[in-house]
Amino acid sequence: MSGLKNFFKRSKSVSHSFISPKLEIILGFKIGSPVYYELAFLHKSEHKTNAEGHPQNYERLEFLGDAVLGMIIANFLYHKVPEGNEGYLTEMRSKIVSRAHLNELGKELNLQQFLRTEDSSNQFGENVHGNLFEALVGAIYLDKGYPACESFIFRRVISPHVDISKLESKVLSYKGLLVEWCQKNKIQFEFVSDEDSGNDSIKHFTAKLFLDGKLIAKARETSKKKAEEKSARRAYYSLQKNIKS
């Protein structure tokens, strides 16, 4: 712990004042140890190390925040839905802490404004928003403990965004849903993905979905996974009546 604090004392680029006032509005409480929040928004491109020579960036806090967030959501669901079995609770938790939802939360709080990086923020994909949110949760946990972290999650995640009835009908993965439907109905499916950057500075991919050899949908995104998911979603809505019957 002393090594972490010594690192920030030595770093001339760190300024607690530029983070604390704005961040405290988002947090809803006074920051106790600014060092954790500085770390929560430090990108690895800064190439910072502590006194022991260990890399310093938000990734370790992201790991911790992911675990704490999962615990808080699991505890909430356990008490909120007493009739839910393990499979149901696991699925609901996955929907709440999905990468897409965490990215939305990070955007909503505009956490990227605090990011310190040597690279242009335009080079980062959507996941940076969710990564910062998880790192922030980790920082809150280390600074204030579990109760304060739980209070923050309830105020920023559960109260405004978690509706059990809506979550039950939410599709976590259209690709998974479509693949399951195809396998059940013995329909041959194939995703064909190709790199398609065009004139964009960020690499893009185009994904085409074929069912029984017929092109059903296609989409373009910044990763192969995203492109396939988007094409599956488009296919799902075009085939919705067949899939639900």
Instruction: For residue 57, report the phi and psi dihedrals to the nearest 5 degrees.
Output: -160, 180
What are the chain's domains? 2-169 (1.10.1520.10), 174-244 (3.30.160.20)
User: In angstroms, what CA-CA distances link 8 with 20, 58, 86?
Assistant: 15, 14, 43
Specify the 3-state DSSP secondary structure of 213. Answer: coil
DSSP string for 145-195: -HHHHHHHHIIIIIHHH--HHHHHH--S-HHHHHHHHHHHTT--EEEEEEE
From the CB of residue 243, how many other CB atoms can be counted at a distance below 10 Å?
17
What's residue 13's pLDDT? 40
Decide which of 233 and 201 is more confident. 233
**Cα separations (Å) of 176 from 96, 101, 229, 232?**
17, 18, 9, 9
What is residue 66's predicted lDDT score, i.e. its pLDDT?
97
91 is a catalytic site residue = no
Checking if the pLDDT of 229 tops 80, the result is: yes
Considering 66, 150, 221, 228, which one is annotated as catalytic? 66
pLDDT of residue 202: 76
Give 77-130 pLDDT, tens digit per residue.
Answer: 999 999 999 999 998 999 999 998 999 999 999 999 999 887 765 567 788 999
- Looking at residue 112, what is its pLDDT? 92
CA distance 190 to 210: 5
**Rounded-to-10 torsion of CA 84, 90, 96, 99:** -170
Average per-residue pLDDT for the chain: 87
Type of residue at 232: A
* Residue-level pLDDT at 17: 52
Contacts of 55 (CB under 8 A, 6+ apart): 44, 47, 48, 49
Residue that has been written with the tokens 């897409």 in this structure: 100
Is 134 catalytic? The answer is: yes
Q: SS3 of 204, please?
A: coil
C-alpha to C-alpha distance for 22 and 120, rounded to whole angstroms: 22
The single residue of 126, 134, 221, 228 carrying the catalytic annotation is 134
pLDDT-based confidence at 50, cuts 50/70/90? confident
Q: Tens of pLDDT along 70-88? A: 999 999 999 999 999 999 9
Minimum mean pLDDT among 4-18, 27-41, 224-238: which range? 4-18
Q: For residue 200, what are the contacts with CB-CB under 8 A and spacing of at least 6?
A: none
H helices present in 109-145, as ranges = 127-144
